[in-house]
Amino acid sequence: MTDLRDVLRVRPGDTRLADVDPRSTPGLPEGRAGKHAKQWSRDEVAAISQELAAYQEKLFASAKEGATTKRVLLLLQAMDCGGKDGTVRAVTQGLSPAGIKAVSFGPPTDEERSHDFLWRIRRALPGAGYVGVFNRSHYEDVLVVRVHNLVGEDVWSQRYDLINEFEAEQAADGLTIVKVMLHISRAEQKERLLARLDDPTKHWKYNPGDLTERSLWDEYQQAYEDALNRCSTAAAPWYVVPADRKWYRNWAVATLLRHAFADIDPQYPQPDFDVAAERAKLLEAD
């Protein structure tokens, strides 16, 4: 079976977003794109999520005794309506909330702004044994910040190297980072924005500022392309997941996570007590 990571990984210098069709389904098992694709994906993602839950428990257990620094971070970036929330819901459905640390990043607060851009990120990283989810991330500091000139080019252009150093340092300290860009088309974004406007229960998700961001589509695509190409490293590769089809998107991200956990292969720790003796004591007592 092909490793989906090889199919979706960004090869530095090589990736042009315009060449990735957001409706495509790369790496999908043979014969799965047909009319039962949605149901197949729902079942498959639920099954993968159960596997992730089993891995999560072992990871958590192995960190309990301080025996490991291992931890996992799913980092999601996307244009508005790219499906970050839906993806998180789907892939974490079977996991224990107690072992997940999910964080969303909005515009920095005054306090956050008074520190360097990685300060709030470091504080939000999952501890040993945890699975972290970043809804947006330090990449906003080379995306929205660049597109809106919130700092000068002399500042943001230095950040790619700083990000690479930071991620390499974290990877060396036990963090497996799965960085995913959910890649939607401009036409799909329009459909999804319209759907939000047409549904009163979705109005809370709509922000008139979304249209300003949409008008800067090309600038964002360029900023994404640079971030992907400059920050897809061996320690922390980027994956571009075509995301117009939600069923493919969920399957792809769940599968990437499964591969990450399989590499870690967490194990339950050995008990530091004599199991047989404890059992005998328990049976002897009332």
Pick the binder of ligand ADP from 140, 167, 188, 244 (CB under 6 A).
140
Q: Give least dist CB 231 to ligand ADP, A.
A: 15
Among 105, 160, 166, 206, binds ligand ADP (CB under 6 A): 105
What residues have CB less than 8 Å from 247, skipping those under 6 apart? 37, 38, 40, 41, 42
State yes or no: residue 136 binds ligand ADP (CB under 6 A): yes
Query: Is there binding between residue 244 and ligand ADP (CB under 6 A)?
Result: no
List CB contacts of 273: < 8 A, sequence separation 6 or more: none
184 is an interface residue for ligand ADP by CB under 6 A = no
Report the C-alpha gap between 147 and 142 in whole angstroms.
8
Measure the N-to-C terminal CA separation of the chain; round to a whole number of Å.
54
CB 214 within 8 A of CB 220: no
Stretch that binds ligand ADP, among 22-30, 44-52, 53-61, 134-142 (CB under 6 A): 134-142
Give the amino acid at 49.
Answer: S
Per rule CB under 6 A, is residue 145 in the interface with ligand ADP?
yes
Neighbours of 149 (CB within 10 A): 9
Q: Could you give the string, one character per residue 43-82, with x where binding to ligand ADP holds by CB under 6 A and - elsewhere?
A: -------------------------------------x--
The two structure tokens encoding residue 277: 């003796």
| Collapsed DSSP state (helix, strand, coil) of residue 71 | strand
Residue number with CB closer to ligand ADP (159 or 258): 159
Distance CA 195, CA 62 (A): 44
Reference 251, options 16, 7, 18; nearest CA is 7
Residue 192 binds ligand ADP (CB under 6 A): no
Q: Which of 135, 176, 232, 255 binds ligand ADP (CB under 6 A)?
A: 135
Does 32 contact ligand ADP by CB under 6 A? no
At 14, give phi and psi (nearest 5°): -105, -20
Asked if residue 14 lies in contact with residue 226, where contact means CB atoms within 8 angstroms, the answer is no
Does residue 252 belong to the site contacting ligand ADP (CB under 6 A)?
no
- Nearest in space to 216 (alpha carbons), one of 140, 141, 148: 148
Of 159 and 245, CB closest to ligand ADP: 159
Please choose, out of 88-96, 137-145, 178-186, 274-282, the segment that lies near ligand ADP by the rule CB under 6 A. Answer: 137-145
The minimum distance between CB 277 and ligand ADP, in angstroms, equals 53
Choices 90-98, 105-113, 181-189, 276-284 (CB under 6 A): range interacting with ligand ADP: 105-113
Report which residue's Cβ sits closest to ligand ADP: 140
Q: Rounded to whole angstroms, how far apart are CA atoms 132 and 207?
A: 27
Q: Which is nearer to ligand ADP, 93 or 119 (CB)?
A: 119
Q: Which residues bind ligand ADP (CB under 6 A)?
A: 80, 105-108, 135-136, 140-141, 144-145, 207
